[in-house]
Amino acid sequence: MAPTTLTHFIGGEKIAGTSNRFADVFEPMTGDVTARVPLANAAEVRHAVEVANAAQPRWADTNPQRRARVFMRFVELLNRHADEIAHLMSREHGKTIPDSHGDLQRGLEVAEFCIGIPHLLKGEFTEGAGPGIDIYSMRQPLGVVAGITPFNFPAMIPLWKAAPAIACGNAFILKPSERDPSVPLMLAELFLEAGLPKGIFNVVNGDKEAVDAILDDPGIAAVGFVGSSDIAQYVYARGAANGKRVQAFGGAKNHMIVMPDADMDMAADALIGAAFGSAGERCMAISVAVPVGEGAAEALRGKLVPKIESLKVGPSTSPDADFGPLVTRAHLERVRNYVDIGVGEGAELVVDGRGFKMQGYENGFYMGGCLFDRVRTDMRIYKEEIFGPVLSILRAADYAEALALANSHEYANGVAIYTRDGDAARDFAAKVEVGMVGINVPIPVPLAYYTFGGWRRSGFGDLNQHGADGIRFYTRTKTVTSRWPTGVKEGAQFAMPTMK
């Protein structure tokens, strides 16, 4: 079957690309090219901005309760089409069907949160702040805003960006990953079916040329990004230099501290799911296990090895698969190369999944789980984000050393501790310098009404994703000080006004 040629989605219409540049979209489980996606140029981005700018004022004037009703219908449509979206996602990304449902659900929950936008946009009011003076604040939309999102969550992260932005009264331009663009395009159609006006949610596919056009376009007021740290830093610097508000989230090297008193079976199960779910292609994946003490290290390793060796790697559509293929052959080779590097650096490769082949799917992008032990902090496999099914054990002599490991790494996205000791857990939560913390929770992704964001090189900008920060990021505060004439004539006042 010939590959499908995809489109952009601008102004409520499917728009063919005009740049004459395309990228292949693969089905990771077979290795087949299933689609060609157009790569936008700066002129196409500019057209999307113009369309969004024309549509935005009327949407901003739509009262928040009516905007909320659009989100109510949108959530209903997401639930109705969940199976279709999950299968489409698995086909282009490679994650299993249950994992795709989880991806969608976490995005849907942010859309549900946005149903409360009438309350979330309420400002403050002080009556009688001075003689006959009232002060109040209001939150107003920015105008046209944009999101640049990664391949690993084709529904969740676009919805984390778009839903709060649109609920606040902005028009939104999404530049999704060119590796799996079909789910974002479907989200655009469902928004339209839910009653969102044309031009408020637009999808422009592309690569670096489209990204740079978004960062440079004076008609875009804010940009949200998720991807690698080097690109996040680039997006933050270039966007901010052009006067935009920017939130840019980067890479991770998430540690799980396993204390000697932890339930080792529970900790091992948590590590297996957190390290190898979605083939490790998650910014919240646990990639470093830090057992405290040699006894804990040996016990944990003994639990992990048979579990990793028995992992079921399979096609994305297999109901028995623990995880599926990686997203592209290039990414598969990148992850394999990191395993080669770890061996060369002297780490002990306890379980080697590099040679895994899927019978009947020999051209797919599959790799088995890998486990390194006796990893050191000077190794690249510890310092750099691998983004694949590779778990490292780095042994700590005591709790203080384990805490210092998490606090000294350049990435500070997520961290977890497994322990039965409430005092240790409380101390860890207070002292660890990482944005998201799990206590006996392996993937501490906050729910939609809290905010998501890492520290250090895992996050650039001062406001996080979703929750209250999402509303703050996509609005600006206006404060009004008002007084109505009372018949009292005060004359001109030249000193700084005060309430003294």
Please tell me the distance from the alpha carbon of residue 264 to that of residue 419, in angstroms, as a whole number: 9
Catalytic residue among 114, 168, 283, 370, which?
Answer: 283
Sign of CA dihedral 167, 170, 173, 175: negative
Phi, psi of 40, deg, nearest 5 = -70, 150
Q: Does domain 4-250+458-480 have CATH number 3.40.190.10?
A: no
pLDDT digits (tens, 9 = 90+) for 131-189: 888 999 999 999 999 999 999 999 999 999 999 999 999 999 999 999 999 999 999 99
How far, CA to CA in Å, does 232 sit from each of 23, 73, 111, 148, 273? 22, 33, 25, 10, 27
Question: What pLDDT was estimated at residue 1?
Answer: 72
Please tell me the distance from the alpha carbon of residue 231 to that of residue 284, in angstroms, as a whole number: 18
What architecture does CATH give domain 254-439? 3-Layer(aba) Sandwich (3.40)
Question: What pLDDT was estimated at residue 487?
Answer: 64
Ramachandran class of 169: left when φ > 0, alpha when ψ lies in -120 to 50, beta otherwise: left
The CATH 3.40.309.10 portion of the chain extends over 254-439
Phi, psi of 246, deg, nearest 5 = -135, 135
DSSP SS3 for 104: helix
Question: What pLDDT was estimated at residue 499?
Answer: 65
Alpha helices in 346-451 (DSSP H): 380-383, 399-408, 422-431
What letter does residue 452 receive in the DSSP assignment?
B
DSSP SS3 for 24: strand
Closest C-alpha to 165, from 247, 89, 103, 228: 247
User: Which residue type is seen at 63?
Assistant: N
Q: From the DSSP assignment, how many helices (H) and strands (E) are in the chain? A: 16, 23
CA angle 31, 37, 41 (to 5 degrees): 140
The CATH 3.40.605.10 portion of the chain extends over 4-250+458-480
User: Which residue type is seen at 68?
Assistant: A
Please tell me the distance from the alpha carbon of residue 228 to that of residue 152, in angstroms, as a whole number: 12
Alpha helices in 170-325 (DSSP H): 182-193, 208-216, 229-241, 264-276, 294-309
Place of tokens 């010939």: 2
Question: What pLDDT was estimated at residue 155?
Answer: 97
User: Which residue type is seen at 272?
Assistant: I
pLDDT digits (tens, 9 = 90+) for 338-357: 999 999 999 999 999 999 99
Question: What pLDDT was estimated at residue 488?
Answer: 61
Indicate the pTM of the whole model. Answer: 0.93
Question: What pLDDT was estimated at residue 485?
Answer: 77
Annotated active-site residue 114? The verdict is no
Which segments in the chain show pLDDT lower than 70? 487-489, 499-500
Angle at which helices 97-114 and 82-93 cross, to 10°: 120
DSSP SS3 for 247: strand
